[in-house]
Chain A
Amino acid sequence: MKRLMLSLSAIGLLLVPALAAETSTADNLKAAHQASLDAKARYEAFAAKAGEEGYKSAAALFRAAAKSEDIHIAKYASVLKELGVEAKAEAAKPEVKTTRENAEAAIKDKTANRETLLPGHVKAAEADKQKKAVMFFKGAIAADGECLKLFEQAKGNLDGWKAGDKEFLVCTVCSYVMAAPAPGKCPICSASNEKYESFK
């Protein structure tokens, strides 16, 4: 009897980390989902502000970034659903400043995502063998990286971003963001350009 108890508790001990690991990816997904919800609302508000201030191209880029977040939201939600976790659907109210400051905020955002948050999520998901989550987190890293580059360009020459002569494309399959002229197919997921959504 004692033996049985011992082995049962041993099995229990083995199971604990496994369960814990699963919840860690689920938690990360929930966190990422929330972050993308917030980011989407923020970029939409930034876009409106940039429009008001006459930075037409910056507005287009913020809208593209919002679209990219929108795709992340859907992807995270789909994995959460598979894991049987309910995700909240309410975004925090965005804090809007001048377009220059907004661009800086966006850069900080994307840098943190790309350099610390998402890579951590990827590691956890890899440990949990959550293939889909790995793929989505990595897709977000790629998209955020390109977005970050564009935000930096905007910040560096904000006056050049008034004219509205720039076009941005978002791959609706994987969320990758590109400046036009974009390649005929998405460099990340290979979907063809009919899957791009254009923002000008």
Chain B
Amino acid sequence: MFVPLYAMRLLWLGVLASQLAAVVGFWAWNHVHHPLGNQLTGDSTAQFLAWGRLAGLLAAFGCLLQIVLVGRTRWVERAFGLDRLSRLHHVVGFGLVLAIVAHPVLVTAGHALQEENSFGGQFAAFLKNWEDVAGATVAVGIMLAALVFSVLVLRRKMRYEWWHATHLTFYIAIALAFGHQLAVGWDFDTNLPPDPDRGFDAHRWFRYYWLGLYVFVFANLLWYRVARPLAGYWRHRFRVARLVPEAGAVTSVHIEGRRMERFLARGGQFVIVRFLARGFRWEAHPFSLSAPPDGRRLRLTIKALGDYTRKIPELAPGTGVIIDGPHGIFTAGRCKGAKALLVAGGIGITPIRSMAEDLARRGTDLVLLYANRDRKSIVFETELAELAAATGRLKVIHVLSADPDWAGERGQIDRERLARLVPDVREREVFLCGPPPMMKAVRAALRNLGVPRGRIYYERFAL
């Protein structure tokens, strides 16, 4: 079924907004109809407790949202693309710190006031007397540590694998915090005396709703992150068929399996693969499909950039592969017009290569600007030339930054070069993939040349 992108986005934003409204709504109802009177207009004790509880609810809600954002939940991913969701996950993550810290601070302050205690004394009393506050404190510690590690990994002061391991402890934190919510969350407390004025038992319904929210989010997570990839492996029995060395430190991995015609993917999408071999098994990495799926095999083309990717040439044919995907909305399907400009930098050619084929076969008029250091690091040089010759719709222009022998374009893809090489750039939709600094520069140059933001599509090689 074809559902337009904007409709999917609206649907998902609607779902998110309504859930957020439900949480805030329950909270407000509970506090307005509090047995001691409207707490939202109450004294400072009431205010501290009410807002502290809201912070706690939002922190928990935020954690669930985070899981949805990175849970590879298909109906969300199809609307935004995994890379965008990952970026949103980063932003929400740092915003969450606020709620995670505000909750214990405000609630402790409120109770300290009410029970005429010092702040420290009150917190100690919580630890001693409230079930699950100790667990929740550990949870806050884990969450804050995971956030610090995220900053470190972004600054490349920490290895990705280490960061990933610390990030997984978040699930422990979420479990601890969940116990705490059900045990002491006043908003879910079903021990309140019945009050005829209140009409309906909002606390009980909130509790059911809250449980439902967790079940929904974790069911999605298990389904999309675990069950689907395993089921796909079961159905297709993906295997490494062969390895083909490409230019530079790049290797193509061909993957075959059963009933491959039923593995529905489009050029430009990517998969998250786990090779079932020693030294590979424990890590899953994302790679783009470097050729449109032909119903028989998938091709990934991988550049040796780090520990993991350097080992790729050692993979033995016959190795099993668990595939999570396909993911991504960087596909030929985004292109509405008759003309497109493709811009690739380095290994960023992979999704562009498969999309070029899809688009050229559709008859789209294509220009490809392909940036590399030097001639010997151009991946798919022959293949692209052949595709151009076969379809007659593709013009390939190589731009090399550091090759003195190159007679063609030398330097970077900048505004001047774009204007000169693609004079009709404003009539084209643009597909862009490459190293982050290059993407940034090219986007700026394109905007400067009058290409609207909505017609520039790009994929980041970072989740």
Q: Among A9-17, A63-71, A132-140, which stretch is in contact with chain B?
A: A132-140
Measured between beta carbons, the chain A residues less than 8 angstroms from B129 are 184, 192-194
Known interface pairs A135-B42, A183-B189. Does A188 touch B115 (Cβ–Cβ under 8 Å)?
no
Q: Are B111 and A146 in contact (CB under 8 A)?
A: no
Choose among A145, A173, A184 the residue that contacts B193 (Cβ–Cβ < 8 A). A145
Q: Are A184 and B131 in contact (CB under 8 A)?
A: yes
Q: Are B43 and A142 in contact (CB under 8 A)?
A: no
- Report A91 CB to chain B, min CB distance, Å: 26
**Interface: A185 (CB within 8 A):** yes
**Interface: B191 (CB within 8 A):** yes
**Interface: A21 (CB within 8 A):** no
Q: Which of B46, B111, B186, B193 has the most CB of A within 10 A?
A: B193
Measured between beta carbons, the chain B residues less than 8 angstroms from A194 are 125, 128-129
- Interface bin, chain B: 20 to 34
- Report B265 CB to chain A, min CB distance, Å: 52
User: Which B-chain residue is minimally distant from A129 (CB atoms)?
Assistant: B41
**Interface: A187 (CB within 8 A):** yes
**Interface: A108 (CB within 8 A):** no
**Interface: B94 (CB within 8 A):** no
For window 75-126 of chain B, which residues contact chain A by CB distance below 8 Å? Answer: 111, 114-115, 125-126
For window 181-200 of chain A, which residues contact chain B by CB distance below 8 Å? Answer: 183-185, 187-195
Q: Are B114 and A191 in contact (CB under 8 A)?
A: yes
Q: Are A173 and B184 in contact (CB under 8 A)?
A: no
**Interface: B234 (CB within 8 A):** no
Measured between beta carbons, the chain B residues less than 8 angstroms from A190 are 49, 111, 184, 186
**Interface: A174 (CB within 8 A):** yes
Q: Are B193 and A142 in contact (CB under 8 A)?
A: yes
Known interface pairs A184-B183, A184-B184, A192-B130. Does A138 touch B35 (Cβ–Cβ under 8 Å)?
yes
Q: Which of A122, A126, A190 has the most CB of B within 10 A?
A: A190
By secondary structure, the A interface counts as: helix
**Interface: A88 (CB within 8 A):** no
Measured between beta carbons, the chain B residues less than 8 angstroms from A126 are 37
For window 101-135 of chain A, which residues contact chain B by CB distance below 8 Å? Answer: 122, 126, 131-132, 134-135
Measured between beta carbons, the chain B residues less than 8 angstroms from A142 are 35-36, 193
Known interface pairs A183-B189, A190-B111. Does A174 touch B126 (Cβ–Cβ under 8 Å)?
no
Q: Are B35 and A185 in contact (CB under 8 A)?
A: no
Choose among B43, B111, B128, B184 the residue that contacts A132 (Cβ–Cβ < 8 A). B43
**Interface: B397 (CB within 8 A):** no
User: Which A-chain residue is minimally distant from B126 (CB atoms)?
Assistant: A192
Measured between beta carbons, the chain B residues less than 8 angstroms from A191 are 111, 114-115
User: Which A-chain residue is minimally distant from B132 (CB atoms)?
Assistant: A184
**Interface: B463 (CB within 8 A):** no
User: For the complex, what is the distance from the CA of A126 to the CA of B130, rounded to whole Å?
Assistant: 33
Choose among B115, B183, B184 the residue that contacts A195 (Cβ–Cβ < 8 A). B115
- Report A174 CB to chain B, min CB distance, Å: 7
- Report B37 CB to chain A, min CB distance, Å: 5
User: Which B-chain residue is minimally distant from A145 (CB atoms)?
Assistant: B193
Q: Are A188 and B111 in contact (CB under 8 A)?
A: no
Measured between beta carbons, the chain B residues less than 8 angstroms from A183 are 189, 191
User: For the complex, what is the distance from the CA of A145 to the CA of B126, rounded to whole Å?
Assistant: 28
User: For the complex, what is the distance from the CA of A191 to the CA of B126, rounded to whole Å?
Assistant: 9
**Interface: B402 (CB within 8 A):** no
For window 40-97 of chain B, which residues contact chain A by CB distance below 8 Å? Answer: 41-43, 46, 49
**Interface: B5 (CB within 8 A):** no
Measured between beta carbons, the chain A residues less than 8 angstroms from B191 are 183, 187
Q: Are B130 and A184 in contact (CB under 8 A)?
A: yes
Known interface pairs A190-B49, A192-B129. Does A135 touch B36 (Cβ–Cβ under 8 Å)?
yes
User: For the complex, what is the distance from the CA of A192 to the CA of B191, rounded to whole Å?
Assistant: 14
Residues 344-380 of chain B: 1 if any A CB is under 8 Å from the residue's CB, otherwise 0? Answer: 0000000000000000000000000000000000000
| 28 chain-A/chain-B pairs, Cβ below 8 angstroms | A122-B37, A131-B37, A131-B42, A135-B37, A135-B42, A135-B43, A135-B46, A138-B35, A139-B35, A141-B35, A145-B193, A174-B36, A183-B189, A184-B129, A184-B130, A187-B189, A187-B191, A187-B192, A188-B192, A188-B193, A189-B36, A189-B114, A191-B111, A192-B125, A192-B130, A194-B125, A194-B129, A195-B115
4 additional A-B residue pairs with CB within 8 Å, beyond A139-B36, A187-B186, A190-B49: A131-B42, A138-B37, A184-B184, A192-B126
9 closest A-B pairs by beta carbon, nearest first, are A192-B129, A187-B191, A142-B35, A183-B191, A187-B192, A134-B37, A138-B37, A135-B36, A194-B129
